[in-house]
Structure 1
Amino acid sequence: MDSVAVAVTGGMLHFELAVAVEVFASAGYEVVVCGPRGVRVGRFGVVPDRGLGAVLGARTVVVPGWADVDAAPGAELVGAVRAAHAAGARVVSLCTGAFVLAAAGLLDGRRATTHWAHTAALAARYPAVEVDPDVLYVDSGSVLTSAGKAAALDLCLHLVRGDLGPAAANAVARNLVVPPHRAGGQAQFVTTPVPAADDHPITALLPWVTANLDQPLTVDDLARRAAMSTRTLTRHFRAATGTTPLRWLLAQRVRRAQELLETTDTGVDAIAEAAGFGTATTLRRHFARAVGVPPDTYRHTFRS
C-alpha cells in the first residue's frame, strides 16, 4: 500500500491534519506523521511518528494548513517538502498549506489555490504562482493544492479515487457522511457580502430584492425602489458589498438556484423561473459560469 507522510511543525492547523490522517488511514494507506518532537498543532500537542526527514520515504507528502500566513514557514519544513518533491513524491497542500509549497518554490509557474480569504495574499507574496481563487482544488499531477476546510476533504477523497478507484473513495465518504465527489473546478462557496450597518442606505433594499428574485428585476428597478439614481445606487453598492448591483443580483439568483437544487426536487425549468433567470438555458449558462458545474451536476453532488 502507498505511504502518506503528513509533514507537521508548530503553527499548523489541526483540522487539516486530522482530515489527512482520517481519510488516508481509512482507505488503507500507511500514514506517517512527520515532524519535530512535542509539536503543537492548533490547540493540541502532537507526537509525530518520525522526524521531518522521513517525508523522503513517502510517495505522497501532505502539508496541512499553515495558521499564520503572515509568518514565513520554517526552513526545515520548507526544505523537507522541497527535497521530497525532488525525490519524486507527490506533494499536497491543504488550505493555507499552499504557503509552504509556495515558499519551497513548488508552485512557481503552476496554477494553485488556497482558502478564498488568503488567495490575494498568496498571489501578492508569490507572483510566480498562478493563483485561482474560484476552485475547490487544483491537481497539477505531482503538486496539488486545495481551498479551505471542506475542500481539503474533497482533495483527499480525489486522491483516493485516483489511486484506488471510485469504490474505495465512496466507502470512505460514506463512513465520513460526506459527498463522495465534488469536482475540483467547482467554485468555493462564498457568501455574498451584505451591509453590516442597519442604517446603510441600501440595507432595506436587499431583503426586498431577495424576496422578489422571481421577478425580472433590473438595476433601474432597484434604483427606483431605493429612491435614488442608478449612479448613486451603484456607489452605495460598491461601498457596502464590494461589487455592482447587477453582479450582486446575479449572485443572489445563482444562490437561490443553489438552495432549490440542494433542498427540492423541482425541475430546472421551474427553478429558472423561481430564481429569475426565465429559462433553463439562461440558468445553466450563468450557473455553470458562477459555480463551475452545471445545475444537474450540482444537485447530484449535494443530494448524493
Structure 2
Amino acid sequence: MSRDLLITHFVGASAVVLVAAHAGGRLARWLGQPGIVGQLTAGIALGPSLLGSAAPGAYQAVFPEAIAPALTGLAQFSLVVFLSAVGYELDPGVLGERARTAVAVAPAAFAVPMAVCCACALLFGPWPLGLGMPERPSPAMVVFAGIALSITAVPVLTALVRENGLASTVPGVVAVSAAGLLDVIGWITLSAVTVPAVVTKVGSGTMAARLGDLDRHEARTVGVLLSARGLTELIALDAGLRSGLLSPCTRLTQPLLHLVRRAGARERPVPRPGPAAAGRPASRTRAD
C-alpha cells in the first residue's frame, strides 16, 4: 500500500470514528443518557468485538492493519490532550480543602468492590466454562478479576464531570482525584500477581547459581537473565492452547505478563575481577 493510500485510509478511518462518536453522543443525549455512553457504544460497534466479528471484510476495509499504529497513536495523543484539558478545568482550591476526603474515598472505593468481586469470582468460578475458563480459577485469575472490576475509567469519569459542569464542584474534584488514586492502587495490587512470578524465577536461579560457586553479583545476574521470556514460551503457550489446556483468554494474557517480566530482565555489566580474583576467569553479563 502506497503512502498516499495509507494517508487516505487514515483520514477516512478517523472521519468514520469521529462521525460515529458524534452521532452516538447525540443519540445518547436524546435518550437522556450522558454523551460518553453513546460514544463508547459507537466505539465498541466499530471495533473488533462487533464489526470485526460480524463483518471482518468490512472491518478490514475501513480499518486496515497498516494504519492501526497511526490510529492508536492518534487516540493516545487525543486522550492525553483531553485529560490535560479536564485537569486544567479542575479547581485546585477545592481539592486542597477536600484532600483528606479524596484519600479516604479511593481505598474504600477499591477495597470493598475488589473483595466482593474476588468472592464472586470464587463463587461463580465454575459457571463460565463455556467461555473456556478453567473449572477452578487460579489465585492470579481471581485477583485479576477483582482488579478489573474495581478500577474506575478515568477518561469516562472526566468526560462525565466535564459534560455535567462538575469540574469546579466538590463532588467532581473529589471523584477525579480519587479515581487517579484508584489507578495507583490498582497497579500496585496488580503487581501482587507479577511480583511472585518474577521473585520465584529470579530467586531459584540465583540460589542455584550460588550453589554452583558463583559470587553474589554473578548469581543474581544469572537469575535475572533466566526470568526473560521469548519464543520458547510462546511455543509452549500455543501448544497448551491447541491441546485444550489453556483458553484463548489465558493464552492472550500470559504474554502480557511475560512482557512485564522481560522488561526487568536487565542487569548491569559485571565489574572486571580485581587482583583477588586473578586466578578466576572473568565473566560477563552481556555479549558485545
TM-score class, shorter-chain normalisation, is under 0.3
Specify which structure has the bigger relative contact order, considering alpha-carbon pairs within 8 angstroms and separated by 6 or more residues. Answer: 2
Q: Which structure dedicates a bigger proportion of its chain to strand?
A: 1
Which has more helix, going by share of residues?
A: 2
In the superposition, the TM-score normalised over structure 2's length comes to: 0.27
TM-score, structure 1 normalization: 0.26
